[in-house]
Copies of this chain bind each other. A is one copy, B any other.
Amino acid sequence: MKAAILGATGYTGMILLRLLSDHPEIDEIIAVSSTRAGKSIKEIDPGVYTAVEKKMQSTDVKLVSVDEAAAMNPEVTFAALPHLESAKICGPFFETSVVIDLSADFRIKDPVIFEKAYGQKPERQDLLDAAVYGLCEIYRSDIKKANLISNPGCYPTATLLPLIPVIQKFGACGKIVANAMSGISGAGKKAVFNNLFVERTENCGAYAPGKSHRHQPEIKKELDAAASAAGKDLGAEGANLFFTPHLVPLKRGMEITTILDVPEDMAAGLTDEAIDALYTEYYGNSPFVAWDANRFPQSRDVWAANSCRIGWRIEGRSLMLFSTIDNLVKGASGQAVQNMNIRFGFDETAGLRIYGEL
């Protein structure tokens, strides 16, 4: 199969180059860059060029332009582009391709919420309406039929996987406090002061707390949808989510610590066994999700893996959830490949690692 990567020079694009080089079902990789077409992969990403050259059986693979790529009729297109650019660029690829989009452009269908988060109306409401939210373990059956898959953000993936089963079982949980720690690659490959090594090493802190981060509405709408699907009433305002991200000096990795109280009348049902059974019900057949009571997963456990690890602790009627992913893999490019695997009927783990690098 022929795969195109739009935005192959960014961090998520670079991970896609690696994953697709190793993918047994991919024969050809079309690496696309609007600004650096014509350059050799070797110049752009000296870490991966030997792998791409081997896959392509070529001694010099070059980046191509968007137009050139569209003319090559890829069967799957990964759009690893900045927010608000993706929707403008990926149009031509729908003719031949399933499009898996890693930006935020097709995640929030409600144009009011979209505009609040991203400062403008969606570029392509038509495409947005048709997009399927690619949180694999939750929407697997929809993904199988989708032609536009909107890959979730890294914070939403790591926050939602442990939370959705809990919300669907326990319903209204009052205030949900989720604190996230993220590696710096989550900010993308942008040459700005704030991302410099000297600024970020030996430094940590919160940003965009409470309800002010763009991913807060993305998480909230999924919690609301999950409750609704399960017939649980979260009240007029829906989930009362406080989500606070923190930057920590990691290259890759993410951990979410969430605390919520289950309703008083359901407190007796809040046991380690019940939570274990709940996750078994939801994720028993999901190769990338693992969980344990009273264990607190470390971000390294899933470094470079497409996995999500979940732990929890119960204190009275309070439930603390701990979850970790690699923000560039399960939080971006790996989940995109998993979506491709699901969509095209490949083994769901094809080309993806389930172990964390040391």
Contact = CB atoms under 8 A, between A and B. Distances in A.
Interface of A: 11, 14-15, 18, 21-22, 46-48, 50-51, 54, 175, 177, 179, 181, 184-185, 189, 191-193, 195-207, 209-212, 242, 244, 246, 248-253, 255, 257, 259, 261, 287, 290, 295-304, 307, 309, 313, 315, 318, 320, 322, 324, 328, 353-358
Nearest to A328: B358
Nearest to A256: B206
B251 A248 contact: no
Nearest to A322: B206
Chain multiplicity (copies):
4
A315 B242 contact: yes
Contacts of A249: 197, 201, 248-250
A236 to B, nearest CB: 14
Contact of A201 (B21, B177, B192, B197): B197
B257 A206 contact: yes
B196 A255 contact: no
Given A18-B355, A206-B255, A301 B47 contact: yes
Given A202-B251, A209-B296, A298-B205, A356 B184 contact: no
Contact of A298 (B203, B244, B301): B203
Contacts of A353: 22, 51
A305 to B, nearest CB: 8
B198 A50 contact: no
A209 B257 contact: yes
A179 B257 contact: yes
B296 A197 contact: no
A296 B207 contact: yes
B184 A48 contact: no
A15 to B, nearest CB: 6
A255 B205 contact: yes
Given A197-B249, A202-B202, A299-B204, A357 B355 contact: no
A47 B355 contact: yes
Given A189-B193, A246-B257, A184 B206 contact: no
Contacts of A259: 177, 210, 242, 244
A193 B187 CA distance: 13
Instruction: Count chain B CB atoms within 10 A of each CB in A11, A14, A177, A287 and give the residue with the most.
Output: A177
Contact of A196 (B22, B191, B210, B318): B191
Instruction: Count chain B CB atoms within 10 A of each CB in A191, A200, A201, A259 and give the residue with the most.
Output: A201
A173 B199 CA distance: 36
Contacts of A315: 210-211, 242
Nearest to A247: B298
Instruction: Count chain B CB atoms within 10 A of each CB in A203, A318, A358 and give the residue with the most.
Output: A358
Given A248-B249, A251-B197, A328-B358, A303 B47 contact: yes
A297 B203 contact: no
